[in-house]
Amino acid sequence: MTEPVAESPTAPFAVRLALIVLLPLIALALYFDGQHYDPDLVQLEPRQAGASVAGDLFPPSLAGLQRAGQVRRFDKENLYEYIDGHAEYFIGAGFRALAVGEYGDSGNGQPALVVNLYDMGAPLNAFGVLVDEAGDQESADVGTMGFRSGQGVSFIHGPYYVQMSLFDDALPAEEAGADLAQSLAKEVKDPGLAFRFPDLGRVTATRFVKESYHGLEFLNEVLERSFERNGKEIRAFLAQGSAAEIGKLVAAFEAFFKEDEMPYQRIEQDELVFFSIEDPYEGAWFFAPLQASLVGVYAPLDDQLIAEIEKFAGNNR
């Protein structure tokens, strides 16, 4: 005998009518609520590391100018939209993210101050870009290291490289830079890079070599500085790292000298060790491994230079 099939329960007509009326109202409420969202909470694509930090570092005002509009952000995928033709250089130098902020009004509908805040991933990367971009500009006392140009200032602090372009000659460029540097210092309390060299004379030039300094594959991320000393120009280089990293660098140098049959001497002087090299191409030069760095000088090792290196090592212990 076939059992009767139970019928699906049916809601009362009044309930069904109420649902039909409420559904459009619910959809309309959701639509209007969606117009008031926090864009930082709605991300359709993953955000590059550092991009949110860079944007948050812009203060509400700089040198008395109020921030205008939203901070714009760029990553490796769309950097070319902002600096077409130069994006590959920044990406090759370690670029992670860019945030662009605008301040004030120049009087013709354009911002009076534009700030490009690049997250270069590491202090050395930021330094390299600063030196490359600054060229022969005049030094400025802004951030860890800065330069002044006719249209503004550029400087670094930690992994950040900052370009500030001013479109009003009356604006105090260094004051604006100092305000932003102070904001960056709240986020990056330790800039992570010291630009200290021995006192070898008057500084004439500084540059950064990211890879294979002087063709040596094991010598990377090197700061080089030229000095005028006793009427002559000499060059010095500085590589930074942990004690273990400096030890590996010394071992790589010695292996290179032996492989190329390049004459060198290991000279112990008090608590320091100097390596004096007779290079057929560069002439006489030397280097000294220190606690957290290796300092080299393209000049013959003499008592005066030994004294300068010892003084430098003592001040940086």
pLDDT at position 196: 76
Render pLDDT for 267-317 as a digit per residue (tens, 0 to 9). 998 889 999 999 999 999 999 999 889 999 999 999 999 999 999 988 766
Share of the chain above pLDDT 70, in %: 79
User: Could you tell me the two tokens for 247?
Assistant: 């030890």
CB 161 within 8 A of CB 152: no
Segment 42-64, tens digit of pLDDT: 222 233 334 344 557 888 888 88
Band of residue 8 on the pLDDT scale cut at 50, 70, 90: very low
Written as six digits, the tokens of 223 are 């700061």
**Three-state SS annotation for 125-163:** HHHHHHHHHHCCCEEECCCCEEEEECCEEEEEECCEEEE
Which segment of 53-57, 79-83, 89-93, 158-162 scores lowest on mean pLDDT?
53-57
Quick one: pLDDT band at residue 103, thresholds 50, 70, 90? very high
CB 118 within 8 A of CB 160: yes
* Pairwise CA distance, residues 246 & 226, whole Å: 22
Q: Phi-psi category of 88—alpha, beta or left, where left has phi over 0 and alpha has psi -120 to 50?
A: alpha
Residue 39 has pLDDT above 80, yes or no: no
Q: What share of the chain is helix, strand, coil (3-state, %, to 5)?
A: 30, 30, 40
- Per-residue pLDDT reduced to its tens digit, 197-242: 898 988 787 788 888 999 999 999 888 888 999 999 999 999 988 8
Enumerate domains of the chain plus CATH numbers.
51-187 (no CATH), 202-315 (3.40.1000)
Tens-digit pLDDT profile for residues 109-164: 789 999 999 999 988 889 889 988 887 777 787 888 888 887 789 999 889 999 99
pLDDT at residue 35, rounded to an integer: 36
Average pLDDT over residues 93-114: 88
State residue 23's pLDDT score.
52
Which of 4-8, 103-107, 184-188, 204-208 has maximum average pLDDT?
184-188
**Average pLDDT over every residue of 54-82:** 87
96 burial level (CB within 10 Å; 0-12, 13-18, 19+): buried
Above 80 in pLDDT, residue 82?
A: yes
Please report the pLDDT score of residue 33 as a whole number.
44
What pLDDT sits at residue 208?
80
Least confident of 22-26, 264-268, 272-276: 22-26
**Mean of per-residue pLDDT scores for the chain:** 81
